[in-house]
């Protein structure tokens, strides 16, 4: 069932309609708010909706357009944010009880840039607690569901972002990707998700999980939507010391150049078993489509990618252990009553952190402890260097690396929640991209031949070469067509 206008439009289509004054931002925003009200009780994509500020921003956008003063293609477009971005005056929890009631006094850089672009922000989206998870079941406020099948996960940790875009609740969203947390839910929900190069988008005002891995990125219905969203927020930010000064190109330029002449690297290690047969079939068909469009498939090797999961689950928990130490009941969120300061720390953290956050904090603290730092954390960092060197060698022979995003389609809620190792393996193909600080993208590659659920193709590129990823993804999208709207949510 297709969504009624204007919800049936992509972000770029809505932007063009707004420019032609065929639809107003207030009309589009009211349609979005009605859609959220009608569907989110079953979906659970939003943690909070902000209708009054959204409508106020929409009316301001309409006034600008009436004067011919639109600030950007996003002016008047309704969007939503993963609840990990500090938002002035709006409760921001990162999906955790330990931040319940926390209202930031300023905006994250991404939020500030979106407001400057005239975007209409309608609310904050569900997520795994502190971005720790691959199913959105670790949220302290209940799971989000997949709009293709409400008994299944939308993926994580940016599950609410992917689900909201797929369910036509918003025209685009932003999430964060630490080990696959944009690409995996984008794949499972049938939308486009882009993790930019580390440093491409500012992390200032983003609640930290693992600071050397976290990166902000967009989710959209189409490749052009994702390109437009990235263009609005990319660029240097002096408030983020890891922010790059590398020039920001026009991501829409060259988007329609097609796949002819591209060299598509196919890693042998990503096709040696472990991937569901229906998923692998769609990935191989997508690769064949590239070849038919004039691209050349090239065999490449990523021999150290098999150590990616192990290295990631030392580096990321170690950084999380350090970052989450600030949540002590003194400065943020609720405080547990206790008879001493140390008891207050312990009681607050015990009540505030969920099971997965506690698990990762303990893993990370152990990996950094005296006598174990070199054996675990330092060795994992050395493996990380080897993973990056593998990609460097691969890119001597190809322009992009292609393969699966996830070894399976969306799995059932509850299926893996009691088996952390199986949950961690859901990110087996996405983690290396973060370890190597490279850009990665998930683009719909069709529906599983057995169960009709979305399958995503992953494309990984050279540092700061998001444009080539977007060009390749657009070529495939043009060949296969964008993923249809899911029917389970209505």
| pLDDT tens readout for residues 88-109 | 999 999 999 999 999 999 999 9
Instruction: Check if 82 is active-site.
Output: yes
- Which of these is catalytic: 15, 96, 157, 467? 157
pLDDT of residue 483: 82
pLDDT the model gives residue 5 = 67
pLDDT for 456: 98
CB 149 within 8 A of CB 58: no
List the catalytic residue out of 82, 124, 195, 416: 82
Structure confidence at residue 2 (pLDDT): 46
Q: Which residues, given as ranges, of the chain have pLDDT below 50?
A: 1-4
181, 187, 243, 244: which is the annotated catalytic residue?
181
For this structure, is 483 an active site residue? no
- pLDDT the model gives residue 296: 98
Q: Please give the pLDDT value at position 101.
A: 93
Show the tokens assigned to 329.
Answer: 């009941």
24 counts as catalytic: no
- Tell how strand 120-125 and strand 78-82 pair up: parallel
pTM, to two decimals: 0.96
Contact 250, 231 (CB under 8 A): yes
């Amino acid at each position: 069932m297709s969504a009624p206008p204007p919800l049936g439009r992509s972000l770029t289509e809505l932007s063009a309609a707004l420019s032609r004054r065929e639809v107003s931002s207030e009309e589009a925003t009211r349609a979005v708010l009605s859609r959220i009200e009608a569907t989110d009780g079953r979906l659970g994509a939003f943690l909070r909706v902000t209708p009054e500020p959204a409508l106020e921003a929409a009316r301001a956008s309409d006034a600008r357009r009436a004067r011919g003063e639109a600030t950007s293609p996003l002016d008047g477009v309704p969007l939503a944010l993963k609840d990990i971005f500090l938002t002035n005056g709006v409760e921001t929890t990162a999906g955790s009880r330990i931040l319940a009631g926390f209202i930031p006094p300023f905006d994250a850089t991404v939020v500030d840039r979106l407001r400057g672009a005239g975007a209409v922000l309608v609310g904050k989206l569900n997520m795994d607690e502190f971005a720790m998870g691959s199913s959105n079941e670790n949220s302290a406020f209940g799971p989000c569901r997949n709009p293709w099948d409400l008994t299944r996960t939308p993926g994580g940790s940016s599950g609410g972002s992917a689900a909201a875009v797929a369910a036509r609740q918003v025209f685009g969203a932003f999430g964060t990707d630490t080990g696959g947390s944009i690409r995996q839910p984008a794949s499972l929900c049938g939308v486009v998700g882009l993790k930019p190069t580390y440093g491409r988008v500012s992390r200032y005002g983003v609640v930290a999980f693992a600071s050397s891995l976290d990166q902000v990125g967009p989710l959209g219905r189409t490749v052009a939507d994702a390109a437009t969203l990235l263009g609005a927020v990319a660029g240097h930010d002096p408030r983020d010391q890891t922010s790059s000064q590398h020039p920001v190109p026009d991501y829409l330029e060259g988007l329609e150049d097609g796949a002819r002449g591209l060299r598509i690297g196919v890693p042998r290690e990503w096709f040696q078993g472990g991937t569901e047969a229906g998923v692998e079939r769609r990935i191989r068909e997508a690769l064949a489509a590239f070849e038919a469009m004039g691209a050349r498939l090239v065999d490449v090797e990523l021999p150290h990618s098999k150590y990616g999961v192990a290295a990631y689950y030392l580096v990321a928990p170690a950084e999380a252990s350090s970052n989450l130490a600030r949540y002590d009941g003194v400065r943020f969120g609720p405080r547990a009553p206790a008879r001493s300061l140390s008891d207050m720390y312990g009681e607050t953290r015990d009540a505030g952190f969920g099971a997965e956050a506690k698990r990762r904090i303990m893993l990370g603290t152990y990996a950094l402890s005296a006598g174990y730092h070199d054996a675990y954390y330092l060795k994992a960092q050395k493996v990380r260097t080897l993973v990056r060197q593998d990609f460097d060698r691969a890119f001597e022979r190809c322009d992009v690396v292609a393969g699966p995003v996830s070894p399976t389609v969306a799995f059932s809620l509850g299926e893996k929640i009691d088996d952390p190792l199986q949950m961690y393996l859901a990110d087996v193909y996405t983690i290396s991209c973060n370890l190597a600080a490279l850009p990665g993208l998930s683009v719909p590659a069709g529906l599983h031949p057995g169960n009709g659920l979305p399958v995503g193709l992953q494309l990984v590129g050279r540092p700061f070469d998001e444009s080539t990823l977007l060009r390749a993804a657009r070529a495939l999208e043009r060949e296969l067509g964008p993923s249809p709207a899911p029917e389970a949510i209505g």
